[in-house]
Amino acid sequence: MDHKAYKLIVDGRAIVFLPTLGKCFEVSPEKLDELPDYITADDSVKPVVKKKYTSATLVLTDDCNLACSYCYEFGKPRRDPITMSVETIEKAIKSLVGRAVSEKTSGVRLYFFGGEPTLRLDEIIYAKQLLDKKCGELGLKTRYCITTNCCMSDEAANWVMENIDSIGISFDGNKRIQDRQRDMSFDQAFDRAKQFFSVCGSKKVSIRVTVSLWSARKMEEIVSFFAASFPGVKIYLEPLFKIGRGKTTSLEMPNPDRFFNGCLACYKLAKTLGVDVVTSIGKPRNDTPYFCGAHGGGQVFAPNGEVLTCPRMSLSCEPGRDFFVCGEITNDGIVFDRAKTESLASLLDYSKIPKCADCFARYACRGDCPANKAVINQATFFHEPSYRCEAIKRFVSKLLLLELDSS
């Protein structure tokens, strides 16, 4: 089998990248042009086989106890929130278990999302009890995950620590950064996060940081803060995007090159601090043609009864939202638009984007976030490369160099 060899000059150094073999080499710059464009080898990299779980997300409410400056859902405390009904929870769980049986997976993974999901603690408890019962009868494993701002009652916190397998905390940095970007929530959120970490540790707790133009120059400071406060924690860095309230805030999106250069600096720093830092444009992979599950790999149940493929779009008012709606919950059950989900699987396959066809970075980028691209251009986003395409190429090339230097 022939494998494409991408020949790159990065910071004056020559490297050869073979993504379908999962290999990268440094060579002498003067020898680079002499190397063939294709390498013949017996087989390509075999995808890592993981224990597969069938997944679904319950977006329990549009209610939130914070009004963060960039929230893509316009989250805030609401007098009349939209809340998921018990009937919708029951139908969603029936669908999830049915998919696990038909897909012959070893278990199910259920995500609790919002708004702030812990504001609907009774519904979370009911969903877990119901899913535990159904999966216990069928011999299926269960995993529970939650995304939270960490501002919750003691009752909710105690239940989460005892019952949730993965706690993703949205937290942007030290007091000055957190209070500016996330509605003056540092004191309450930090104390609760410390409690979670002391009880659950880094295996269950992770931090998700939104980086604005203002905080981008503080990325190493942010990583150092979390490394000192939560030793060994995994930190996800993602740039602010102009969606929802993010379109009206004074905070701006970071320049893509500034963000990615900050990520590279944080990767190096993280090794010295004993933490793991990642971003969604990461190490090149050869095991999936998709950026995420928006192609239909998971189901997202919204509190208004709609079924989507993207949690980012579940409560959004953006015009591109309809692209990700694939069904609805009715009195008789869940009605799925099978033709649409099949179309999504085809449209969101990055290998079908013409400008990505021969790009070395596509194995790391995978077309980038489809929700963000849909906000920019809902009509043709699935045919277009990322809005930060050139910056991604520069980032991935330097990431390859970083991996070579650390191997």
Instruction: Judge whether 159 and 180 are in contact, CB under 8 Å.
Output: no
Verify that 257 and 377 share a domain, yes or no: no
Contact 333, 346 (CB under 8 A): no
Does 158 share its domain with 121? yes
Does residue 104 lie within any of the structural domains? yes
pLDDT at 181: 98
> Do 84 and 93 meet the contact criterion of CB atoms below 8 Å apart?
no
Q: Are residues 87 and 130 in the same domain?
A: yes
What is the reported pLDDT for 317? 85
**59 and 32 within one domain:** no
Question: How is residue 316 written in tokens?
Answer: 């959004």
Q: Is 402 among the domain residues?
A: no
**Taking Cα atoms as reference points, which of 195, 190, 171, 191 lies closest to residue 182?**
171
Round the CA-based radius of gyration of the chain to a whole number and report it. 22
3-state secondary structure of 265: helix
Residue ranges making up the domain that contains 371 = 293-394
Predicted pLDDT of residue 284: 84
pLDDT score of 45: 53
158 and 72 assigned to the same domain: yes
Same domain, 110 and 35: no
The CATH number of the domain holding residue 86 is 3.20.20.70
Statement to judge: residues 325 and 211 lie in one domain: no
Domain count, the chain: 3
- Residue at a domain's end among 278, 312, 346: 278
pLDDT tens digits, 209-259: 999 999 999 999 999 999 999 999 999 999 999 999 999 999 999 999 999
268 C-beta neighbours (distance < 10 Å), count: 14
255 and 212 together in one domain = yes
> What is this structure's pTM?
0.95
In a domain, 265, yes or no: yes
Question: Is residue 218 assigned to a domain?
Answer: yes
Q: Is residue 283 part of a domain?
A: no
- In 10 A of CB 402, how many CB atoms? 14
Any domain includes 249: yes
* Coil/strand/helix, residue 387: coil
Question: What's the pLDDT score for residue 43?
Answer: 64
CB atoms within 10 A of CB 2: 11
Which parts of the chain have pLDDT scores under 50? 48-49
Question: Is 185 within the bounds of a domain?
Answer: yes
Cα–Cα dist 237/257, whole Å: 14
